[in-house]
Amino acid sequence: MFKDHKVDINQLLAVIPEALLSHLSENTKVDHYSKVLHGKKMFYLLLYGILENDRLSQRTLEDTFNDSVFKMLFNLDESETIRRSSISERLSKIDSTFFKQIYDCIYDQFSDIYSSTEKQKYNLIRVDSSMVSEASRKLLEEGIDHKNGKKSVKYSLAFDGLLPSEVGIFTESRYASEEVALPEVIRSHVKQEKGHQNIYIIDRGLQSCRTMTDFSRESITFIVRSKEKRKHIELESFIERYADRDLGELILVKDSKVYLYTGVPLMTKKGTKRWKEELVEAPFRLIIARSKEQPDKEFWFISNEFDLSPKQITDAYRRRWDIEVFFRFIKQELHVSHLVSLNKNGIEVILYMTLIVAMLILIYKQANSLGYKTAKRRVTMEIRNLIIAMIVIECGGDPTIFFKKQKE
């Protein structure tokens, strides 16, 4: 359809072979206690449903499954039908590891075939979270309770610049704090990559000096945007190493090895909590830069990376914006901000399927040099044309035969 494209929908769908789905069906519990909605059918239903529907819901999934066009595309039995209640129950009980393993397999395939200048030198892994909220009466048992009539589910992701490489789904109240959620996702990502040389880029949600100290001890390299005016003791200044202090949009003000102060909670005799400042004797690098356009605005960065130049540090942090763009894409184009299921198992299944669809679109986008919206639109158009071609072939060149059969 698009002759200048290097990758088309057939090539994308080929990375999810029938053999993989069959293997996982046999080696997980995905098909236990299921009469119609087996794992493969649920996978196809969610894949097609996310791409085709502007707002995914259990009702739209019901209509999608019962559509003859969907059944033709994935070679399903025309006589089988389902109801919304069946989808709801299946999402709550289906083995979510089936979908996670498909996600892992697709990520491994795609991450092996693309390379970049960035990856050859060092891997920048952007880490951030997004919250999806619903009324408390809907999320009765799940969700982070905000005590305002709403509960939230937190999605925390690691993003390698092209693909989402790690995901955490949190519904417990303690994960409302990024100080809890982000380190868990980072450590999980580190375990997946033996001998990694990643640099984890983190926004101001994580400020714990103890977590940073633990990261250094665990050989996890990070760059964090710090709160301004953070109390510290300078051990050594590196600023004289750089004759040129121009960092692009910023001017270098300070580059030093420092110890940081942290707050230690203390309980008074009256039972109230107070905070005491304590010096943490672990060396960190503090870079302070001033905005050229707004001279009163400073940016503070803390890292345990001492070999890169200040410009490399600040340029790396700028790349963190990629994960913000990715979150906006899956919210606006794949509608991840709407909860299709209201229990954690179903939420996990939908998120993994959304990330699988996102990876297909992102590879299509990257290979064909497109924007996010254009890539999503053209993938959907190619699927539509694939269905039309299948209908024409099925009917021996006369598509009216197919539509007559549907009426009968």
pTM: 0.89
Which pLDDT band, with edges at 50, 70 and 90, does 406 fall under? low
In a domain, 152, yes or no: no
Given a cut of 60, whether residue 279 has pLDDT beyond it is yes
Given a cut of 80, whether residue 129 has pLDDT beyond it is yes
In a domain, 237, yes or no: no
For the stretch 5-51, pLDDT in tens is 998 888 888 888 788 888 888 888 888 777 788 888 999 999 999 99
**Cα–Cα distance, 210 to 179 (Å, whole number):** 10
What integer pLDDT is reported at residue 180 of this predicted model? 96
What integer pLDDT is reported at residue 405 of this predicted model? 57
What integer pLDDT is reported at residue 404 of this predicted model? 60
How many separate domains does the chain show? 1
Paired residues of 257 in beta bridges: 236, 285
What integer pLDDT is reported at residue 33 of this predicted model? 72
Given a cut of 90, whether residue 54 has pLDDT beyond it is no
Give the number of other CB atoms < 10 A from CB of residue 388.
Answer: 12
- Residue whose entry in the numeric block shows the structure tokens 């299509």: 364
Which pLDDT band, with edges at 50, 70 and 90, does 314 fall under? very high
In a domain, 38, yes or no: yes
SS3 361: helix
In a domain, 83, yes or no: yes
**Cα–Cα distance, 390 to 399 (Å, whole number):** 9
What integer pLDDT is reported at residue 247 of this predicted model? 94
Given a cut of 50, whether residue 335 has pLDDT beyond it is yes
What integer pLDDT is reported at residue 401 of this predicted model? 64
What integer pLDDT is reported at residue 113 of this predicted model? 67
What integer pLDDT is reported at residue 297 of this predicted model? 95
For the stretch 171-214, pLDDT in tens is 999 999 999 999 999 999 999 876 678 999 999 999 999 999 99
238 is written with which tokens?
């590196």
Concatenated DSSP letters of 260-298: EEEEEEEE-TTS-EEEEEEEEEEEEEEEEEEESS-TT-E
C-alpha angle with apex 45: 41 to 49, nearest 5 degrees? Answer: 175
In a domain, 42, yes or no: yes
* Mean pLDDT to the nearest integer, 392-404: 69
The pLDDT mean for the chain works out to 88
**Cα–Cα distance, 188 to 180 (Å, whole number):** 13
What integer pLDDT is reported at residue 117 of this predicted model? 45
In a domain, 394, yes or no: yes
What integer pLDDT is reported at residue 121 of this predicted model? 54
**Chain-centroid distance, C-alpha 215:** 22
**Cα–Cα distance, 157 to 168 (Å, whole number):** 6
What integer pLDDT is reported at residue 116 of this predicted model? 53
In a domain, 60, yes or no: yes
* Mean pLDDT to the nearest integer, 241-257: 93
SS3 101: helix
Phi–psi pair at 312, nearest 5 degrees = -65, -35
In a domain, 290, yes or no: no
What share of residues in the chain are helix, strand, coil (percent, to 5)? 45, 25, 30
Which pLDDT band, with edges at 50, 70 and 90, does 69 fall under? confident
What integer pLDDT is reported at residue 394 of this predicted model? 73
Task: Give the lowest-confidence range in 241-250, 288-297, 382-391.
Answer: 382-391
Phi–psi pair at 256, nearest 5 degrees = -145, 155
Query: Where is 301: in which H helix or E strand?
Result: strand 298-303
Query: Where is 162: in which H helix or E strand?
Result: none
**Cα–Cα distance, 386 to 389 (Å, whole number):** 5
The domain of 345 spans 9-98+341-407
Tally helices (H) and strands (E) across the chain.
15, 10
For the stretch 222-248, pLDDT in tens is 999 999 999 999 999 999 988 889 999
* Mean pLDDT to the nearest integer, 336-359: 92
